[in-house]
Amino acid sequence: MNATDKSPLGTFLGTMLSTHAHKMGLRVDLQEDKIGRVHFVRHDVTGSRSGEDWFCFSLVLVSSDHSVGIWTRDMMAKKQGPLDAERSYHFHPNTFDRWLDGWFEDAVLEELTRS
């Protein structure tokens, strides 16, 4: 993970996500960005598919409201940006690990095995 996000929230989220990713042999790259006045951090999850790097999805954190959404390959293909991800989860350190356990492995496996 590239350590460009200095906020405690981004650091904690990145650490938790990286822990889950590394257990599955995945990489997480951190990208800070801004669209208009909205600052956000993308945690891009990449795996291996047919021996090649394969972008699975990106977890998008908007620090100002602590919202988290998932930006997918399908959204990218439809020219939707990271802030178009539905940010229905509001990050809280006490529940994030359970939230990750609820979707992470299934989402990665689906992305790496889809046709």
Domains held by the chain: number: 1
Q: List the chain pLDDT tens, one digit each, 115 residues.
A: 334 445 666 677 778 888 889 988 999 998 999 999 999 999 999 999 988 999 999 989 888 887 888 898 899 999 999 998 877 766 666 777 777 777 778 888 888 888 6
Instruction: Kindly report the pTM of this predicted structure.
Output: 0.80
Q: Is the dihedral of CA 106, 94, 15, 32 positive or negative?
A: positive
Q: Which domain holds residue 18?
A: 8-113
50 located within any domain: yes
Tokens found for residue 113: 């095995």
2 located within any domain: no
3 located within any domain: no
109 located within any domain: yes
SS3 content of the chain, % helix, strand, coil (to 5): 40, 35, 25
1 located within any domain: no
